[in-house]
Copies of this chain bind each other. A is one copy, B any other.
C-alpha cells in the first residue's frame, strides 16, 4: 500500500505493466521461485519398478467384459469392448522398437498431488526409450484439446515441475468431450499434431471420456491411441487392477496432519469441540482415511448414514450423546470428522430439497410461513429443526436455475448449531451441565496441491512411465495400472486395464450413458470395519494420533495410507 493511499494509480504507473505477460491459464514460465523443500524435491530421482528398468514385453490377459450391462457397453464401444487387459513382463518384444512417438497429455478435473509426476514419467519414458519423441500438453483440461491450445513439453518445462504439487504446468479443466462436434474437434487436434497417443489424467468421468475418445479415434481409423491414468484425491476411482487413485495418499496425509494438530490443541485447551468437514462430496473415503490416521472422537461416514437411513436428527443425536458422555468423564473437548457430502447422503434432506425446489419454483415464500403447509409433514419437521440461518440460506440463495444450493451449506456449522440447541434442551432436563464451544474447519483446497508424498511420487512416476509404454505397444482404451503396491516399488507390477471392463451404464434422460461407477466406502470393507471396531473406544477414551507433516526423506517417508494398507491386507 503506497502511503498516499492511491495504490491503483501507483500500480498503473509502475513498470510492471510493460513486460510480457502470459494469458491465463498458462502461467508456467512464471514459476521462478522455489522454497528449499521444493528445490530439494525438484532434484529427487524417483525409483522405477524393476520391470520398467529393463526390456519388457506385453502379456495379454483373457478377453474382458464389463462390470454391468455388458450388452449396452458393447453397443456403445463396438471397437473396444472385450479387449484384454495387459501386463508388462521382463523380455523383449518386436513392438518395442524404440521408434519415436508424438504424445499429448491432458489433466482433467480437480487437482491432485502427483499430476506433474505422471507427466514426467511419460516424458522420461520417451527420452529413454523412444528417442526423438515429441510431447505436448493441452492447456486448461479437455477444452485445450477442443480449442487446439497446447504447449510443447520439453525438458526445460518438465524439469521445473518434477515432484511438485499442483496442476499448474498445463492447468486443468472440467469440460467433457462428448458431442459429435466436440469429438470432431478433438480428432482435428490430434491429427493436426499428428499424435500417436494421448494420455488423459483424470477421475472416473475423465477416464470414461478417455474411453469414448479411444473408441471414436479407432472408429475413425485415426492412429491416435488413448490411455487413462487414475487421479482423484477423493479415492473413489479404484478397483482390483487399479488399487488406488493418485493424490489420495498425499491429500489425506495433509488433512490428517491438520486434524492431528487440532486434536492436540483440543486436549491441551480442554474447552473446544473441533468440527472438521473434509473434502469429498460423492464418497467418504477421505474422512474414513483421516479417522484411521488420527482416531477422532466422532467420525460420520456418508455411506453408513445412507445405508442405515439415518435422519439429520439421528446424526445430531449421536454426536450429542457422545458429547454428554464425555462431559460426564470430565472431557469438554473433542474432534468430530464430517464428510463434505454428508447432507447428500441423508435421504430426508434430499426429499426436503426436492420439495423446496418444487415449491420455490411456483410460489412466493410468505413471512407467516403459510407456504410451509405445502411441505410433507416429515419435511416440514426437518425444516423446522434446521437453524434459522440455514433456513434462510435454503430459501434465499439459489443457483441460476432457481434450485436450492445444498452444496453451499457449511455442514460443520449447521451441526454445531443443532447440537447447541439439543444440549440446551438437555440442560433444561438436567441431563447436561457443561460448556460446549464448537469450532468449525473445512479442509479441502489445502490438500489438493501439496508436494506429493513419497508414495504418490513413486506411484505416479510408474503410472506415467507405464502409460507411455502402453502407447508404444500400440494399446488404446486402457487405464494405466500399477499393482502389488504392498511390496517395495521394485516389485510393483505395471500394465493396463481395459476401460470398458470398469464400466456400467446409467440411464439419463432416456439415454444410456457409460459410466465408471464411483467406488463408495464399502461397509463390509476392511477400512470401515476397522473404524467400526474402534470408534466406541475413540469416542470416550482419547486415542488421538498426530501424524505430523509429510516427511520426504528418512524412514517415516515410507508410510502409506491406511485404506490401501488395510484393503491389500484383506486381499492377501
A residues sitting closer than 8 Å to B (CB atoms) are: 1, 3, 5, 7-8, 10-12, 14, 16-17, 21-25, 27, 30-38, 40-41, 111, 140, 164-168, 171-172, 254, 257-258, 260-262, 264-265, 267-270, 272, 274, 293, 295, 304, 308, 310, 314, 317-318, 321-322, 324-325, 329-333, 439, 441, 445-451, 536-537, 539-556, 559
Contact A542 B265 (CB under 8 A): no
Closest 8 CB pairs of A and B: A549-B549, A37-B548, A166-B264, A264-B449, A8-B321, A167-B268, A23-B330, A25-B270
Q: Chain B residue with minimal CB distance to A547?
A: B35
Known pairs A41-B548, A265-B445, A451-B549; list 11 more (Cβ under 8 Å): A30-B542, A30-B543, A33-B295, A35-B548, A37-B559, A40-B554, A258-B258, A262-B446, A265-B449, A272-B445, A274-B445
Instruction: For A321, list chain B residues within 8 Å (CB).
Output: 7-8, 11
Contact A1 B165 (CB under 8 A): no
Q: Select A543's contact among B32, B36, B258, B552, beta carbons within 8 Å.
A: B32
Q: Chain B residue with minimal CB distance to A272?
A: B445
- A67–B146 alpha-carbon span in the complex (Å): 68
Contact B268 A37 (CB under 8 A): no
Contact A270 B140 (CB under 8 A): yes
Given contacts A24-B332, A332-B24, A445-B274, contact A168 B35 (CB under 8 A): no
A414 to chain B, nearest CB (A): 16
Contact A540 B293 (CB under 8 A): no
Instruction: For A550, list chain B residues within 8 Å (CB).
Output: 549
- A39–B53 alpha-carbon span in the complex (Å): 35
- A265–B449 alpha-carbon span in the complex (Å): 6
Given contacts A168-B268, A551-B553, contact A545 B8 (CB under 8 A): no
Contact A554 B555 (CB under 8 A): no
- A314–B1 alpha-carbon span in the complex (Å): 10
Contact B16 A555 (CB under 8 A): no
- A547–B39 alpha-carbon span in the complex (Å): 10
Contact A254 B261 (CB under 8 A): yes
Q: Chain B residue with minimal CB distance to A11?
A: B325
Q: Select A34's contact among B12, B270, B545, beta carbons within 8 Å.
A: B545
Given contacts A37-B548, A546-B35, contact A329 B268 (CB under 8 A): no
- A210–B268 alpha-carbon span in the complex (Å): 21
- A17–B449 alpha-carbon span in the complex (Å): 43
A108 to chain B, nearest CB (A): 12
Q: Select A262's contact among B257, B265, B445, beta carbons within 8 Å.
A: B445
Instruction: For A264, list chain B residues within 8 Å (CB).
Output: 111, 164-166, 168, 449
Given contacts A11-B539, A543-B32, A553-B551, contact A166 B265 (CB under 8 A): yes
A557 to chain B, nearest CB (A): 9
Q: Select A318's contact among B1, B34, B537, beta carbons within 8 Å.
A: B1
Instruction: For A539, list chain B residues within 8 Å (CB).
Output: 11
- A295–B17 alpha-carbon span in the complex (Å): 19
- A542–B33 alpha-carbon span in the complex (Å): 10
Contact A165 B261 (CB under 8 A): yes
- A37–B256 alpha-carbon span in the complex (Å): 12
Q: Chain B residue with minimal CB distance to A40?
A: B556
Given contacts A36-B559, A168-B268, A318-B1, contact A10 B449 (CB under 8 A): no
- A111–B546 alpha-carbon span in the complex (Å): 16
Contact A445 B439 (CB under 8 A): yes
Q: Select A11's contact among B267, B270, B447, B536, beta carbons within 8 Å.
A: B536
- A257–B446 alpha-carbon span in the complex (Å): 9
Instruction: For A262, list chain B residues within 8 Å (CB).
Output: 445-446, 449
Instruction: For A5, list chain B residues within 8 Å (CB).
Output: 308, 310, 314
Of A27, A38, A264, A543, the most chain B CB neighbours within 10 A belong to A264
- A219–B198 alpha-carbon span in the complex (Å): 82
- A36–B103 alpha-carbon span in the complex (Å): 41
Of A3, A167, A171, A270, the most chain B CB neighbours within 10 A belong to A270
A356 to chain B, nearest CB (A): 21
- A321–B254 alpha-carbon span in the complex (Å): 34
Q: Chain B residue with minimal CB distance to A34?
A: B545
A160 to chain B, nearest CB (A): 13
Q: List 14 A-B contacts (CB under 8 A).
A: A11-B322, A11-B540, A32-B543, A35-B545, A36-B556, A37-B548, A40-B555, A111-B265, A171-B267, A172-B268, A265-B445, A451-B548, A553-B554, A554-B554
Contact A267 B27 (CB under 8 A): yes
Contact B16 A308 (CB under 8 A): no
A308 to chain B, nearest CB (A): 6
Given contacts A310-B1, A548-B38, A548-B41, contact A449 B268 (CB under 8 A): yes
Of A140, A172, A451, the most chain B CB neighbours within 10 A belong to A451
Instruction: For A35, list chain B residues within 8 Å (CB).
Output: 260, 293, 545-548
Of A35, A308, A552, the most chain B CB neighbours within 10 A belong to A35
Q: Select A1's contact among B41, B257, B304, beta carbons within 8 Å.
A: B304
Contact B166 A536 (CB under 8 A): no
Contact A37 B267 (CB under 8 A): no
Q: Select A24's contact among B11, B31, B38, B270, beta carbons within 8 Å.
A: B270
A273 to chain B, nearest CB (A): 12
